[in-house]
């Protein structure tokens, strides 16, 4: 048992020891460590944090064509300019004096932007406010660059492991050898055996919707064009044998509908909903030409066999021929009088074939745009078109694929069996195969020599069809 006197002695020595330690600390200039202050948040980065918000939510109303309130949000430079209100869009350091912040944070539905959508999430509004308060700094290489071009590239979500229902097929392409068929999917491109319809591979890291597929002449690259309407577009080139991403050849603030290699495989041209045609050098991935000659979406694109000219099809009711070297317009054809969807050159380059909303395929001369022939009409609009040799093949919303002959466009054969609108068609001359993709998600492949069906299948990996009586209707987005 410890005596009380001993306890008092121990306390006295302990007190002296503590005092001595404190004295050493104070005399040496050191203090007991204080609680650490919370770390300050990292500065807001325009290209990574702000540009994606603007592209997704503002481009539809404030894009390059007829922007509302005369206010564009297509580049950093345009963002910083005042619209028709005259108020400064962004006043660096002063969010409350910035029209952009006031409009996105307004509680008045009639004043708030986006006009026709939900209010921005609170965290995004706070991010914009903090970016302005921090000085509204720009971190990109060029203030005039499109916002979509400065956003850092990120991997796309994976496609579904197994589809619950088919998705509409919007693009198909034969490999140069003709043994494989590339097919559009949801965040993917699937590769199938042409002869038996077996699934061979799935290519990931692809935009939500794929609208254009094109193999390079040597088969080493597969160009994939797509995006999300009103938000983003991209062109990527993959190794079709491995699915590895090889090149990223352009991005846009709206979907890209076509990406096609020239016959030499050295250039790639793209076209999209931003009304532009862009030509890239494949090796360097650099954009060489920007053509802005259409007044609406450019949905079709084709190279002449000599690689010297490009032909386009547009929703502005015209088709045009351009000099691929300098981007200058050569000819404009307005004979459809309605939207034009498909375009292809004749083998000799003297004629262009186009198809569209008027339910017909037209042939017209390359140099002067004079109509030379019109094919017998389909029952509905002609959505796609290919021309190889003397074969001109179109696909239609009436569910048919029809083949015509030469510049005179005489009807030769109708390929049947589709039960829904046919959005995409391809032809391989070596194997004499015709392939189509429809809204129902079905791929049909025929022998062009006799019109017989080779194979058909639903191009939705892992999909198991229910009993026919309970089969669900296809949807545009299947997760």
Q: Residue 233 CA to chain centroid, in angstroms?
A: 3
Tally of domains within the chain: 2
Verify that 321 and 185 share a domain, yes or no.
Answer: yes
Do residues 211 and 271 make contact, with C-beta atoms less than 8 angstroms apart?
no
**Residue 280 falls inside a structural domain:** yes
| Crossing angle for the helix pair 51-62 and 122-133, to the nearest 10 degrees | 100
The size of the chain, in residues, is 479
Which tokens in the block code for residue 298? 């450019």
The pLDDT-based confidence of 246 (bands split at 50, 70, 90) is: very high
- Give dist(CA 392, CA 386) in Å, integer: 6
Verify that 346 and 435 share a domain, yes or no.
Answer: yes
pLDDT of residue 9: 38
Verify that 337 and 385 share a domain, yes or no.
Answer: yes
Q: What is the CATH number of the domain that holds 359?
A: 2.130.10.10
Q: What is the mean pLDDT of residues 114-120?
A: 80
Verify that 114 and 188 share a domain, yes or no.
Answer: no
pLDDT of residue 116: 72
Verify that 137 and 188 share a domain, yes or no.
Answer: no
pLDDT of residue 472: 57
Which tokens in the block code for residue 154? 């990120």
**Residue 471 falls inside a structural domain:** no
Verify that 102 and 182 share a domain, yes or no.
Answer: no
Does residue 300 have a pLDDT over 80?
A: yes
**Residue 23 falls inside a structural domain:** no
Contacts of 164 (CB under 8 A, 6+ apart): 463, 478
Q: What is the mean pLDDT of residues 242-249?
A: 95
Verify that 53 and 198 share a domain, yes or no.
Answer: no
Q: What is the mean pLDDT of residues 302-308?
A: 97
Do residues 214 and 235 make contact, with C-beta atoms less than 8 angstroms apart?
no
Residue 335: DSSP 8-state: T
Does residue 235 have a pLDDT over 60?
A: yes
Do residues 343 and 322 make contact, with C-beta atoms less than 8 angstroms apart?
no
260-278: per-residue pLDDT in tens? 999 999 999 999 999 999 9
pLDDT of residue 7: 36
Give the three-class secondary structure for 213: strand
pLDDT of residue 83: 82
Name the more confident of 92 and 476: 92
Which tokens in the block code for residue 215? 């193999």
pLDDT of residue 112: 84
Verify that 137 and 217 share a domain, yes or no.
Answer: no
CA atoms within 13 A on the CB side of 46: 24
**Residue 53 falls inside a structural domain:** yes
Verify that 84 and 196 share a domain, yes or no.
Answer: no
pTM for the model? 0.78
Verify that 240 and 388 share a domain, yes or no.
Answer: yes
Do residues 254 and 275 make contact, with C-beta atoms less than 8 angstroms apart?
no
Q: What is the mean pLDDT of residues 236-257?
A: 94
Which tokens in the block code for residue 264? 């030499």
Do residues 211 and 258 make contact, with C-beta atoms less than 8 angstroms apart?
yes
Residue 47: DSSP 8-state: I
**Residue 448 falls inside a structural domain:** yes
pLDDT of residue 150: 79
**Residue 28 falls inside a structural domain:** no
Name the more confident of 82 and 458: 458
Q: Give me the percent of the chain exceeding a pLDDT of 70.
A: 89
Triad 243, 219, 340: Cα angle to 5°: 95
pLDDT of residue 4: 42
9-39: per-residue pLDDT in tens? 343 433 443 333 333 333 334 444 455 666 6
Contacts of 336 (CB under 8 A, 6+ apart): 317, 319, 354, 356, 357, 358, 360, 362
**Residue 36 falls inside a structural domain:** no
Q: Give residue 353's domain range.
A: 172-460
Verify that 118 and 199 share a domain, yes or no.
Answer: no
Verify that 227 and 319 share a domain, yes or no.
Answer: yes
**Residue 454 falls inside a structural domain:** yes
């Amino acid at each position: 048992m410890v005596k009380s006197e001993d306890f008092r002695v121990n306390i006295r020595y302990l007190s002296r020891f503590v005092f001595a330690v404190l004295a050493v600390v104070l005399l040496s200039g050191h203090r007991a460590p204080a609680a650490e202050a919370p770390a300050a948040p990292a500065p807001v980065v325009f290209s990574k944090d702000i540009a994606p918000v603007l592209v997704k939510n503002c481009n539809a109303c404030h894009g390059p064509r007829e922007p509302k309130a005369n206010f564009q949000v297509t580049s950093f430079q345009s963002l910083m300019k005042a619209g028709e209100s005259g108020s400064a869009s962004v006043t660096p350091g002063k969010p409350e004096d910035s029209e952009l912040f006031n409009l996105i944070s307004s509680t008045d539905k009639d004043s708030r932007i986006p006009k026709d959508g939900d209010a921005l999430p609170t965290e995004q509004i706070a991010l914009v406010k903090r970016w302005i308060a921090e000085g509204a700094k720009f971190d990109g290489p060029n203030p005039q660059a499109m916002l979509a071009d400065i956003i850092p590239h990120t991997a796309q979500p994976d496609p579904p492991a197994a589809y619950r229902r088919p998705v509409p097929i919007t693009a198909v392409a034969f490999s140069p050898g003709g043994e494989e068929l590339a097919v559009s999917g949801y965040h993917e491109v699937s590769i199938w055996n042409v002869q038996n319809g077996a699934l061979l591979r799935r290519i990931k890291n692809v935009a939500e919707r794929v609208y254009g597929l094109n193999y390079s002449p040597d088969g080493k690259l597969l160009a994939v064009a797509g995006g999300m309407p009103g938000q983003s577009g991209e062109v990527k080139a993959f190794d079709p044998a491995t699915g590895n991403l090889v090149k990223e050849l352009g991005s846009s603030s709206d979907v890209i509908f076509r990406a096609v290699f020239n016959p030499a495989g050295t250039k790639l041209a793209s076209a999209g909903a931003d009304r532009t045609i862009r030509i890239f050098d494949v090796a360097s991935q650099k954009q060489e030409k920007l053509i802005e000659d259409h007044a609406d979406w450019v949905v079709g694109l084709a190279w002449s066999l000599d690689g010297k000219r490009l032909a386009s099809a547009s929703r502005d009711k015209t088709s045009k021929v351009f000099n691929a070297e300098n981007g200058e317009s050569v000819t404009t054809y307005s004979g459809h009088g309605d939207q034009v969807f498909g375009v292809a050159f004749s083998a000799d380059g003297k004629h262009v074939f186009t198809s569209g909303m008027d339910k017909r395929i037209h042939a017209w001369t390359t140099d002067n745009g004079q109509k030379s022939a019109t094919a017998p009409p389909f029952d509905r609009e002609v959505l796609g078109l290919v021309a190889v040799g003397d074969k001109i093949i179109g696909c239609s919303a009436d569910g048919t694929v029809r083949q015509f002959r030469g510049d005179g466009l005489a009807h030769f054969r109708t390929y049947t069996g589709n039960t829904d609108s046919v959005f995409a068609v391809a032809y391989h001359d070596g194997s004499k195969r015709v392939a189509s993709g429809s809204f129902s998600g079905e791929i049909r492949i025929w022998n062009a020599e006799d019109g017989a069906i080779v194979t058909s299948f639903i191009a939705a990996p892992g999909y198991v069809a229910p009993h026919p009586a309970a089969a669900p209707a296809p949807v545009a987005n299947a997760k």
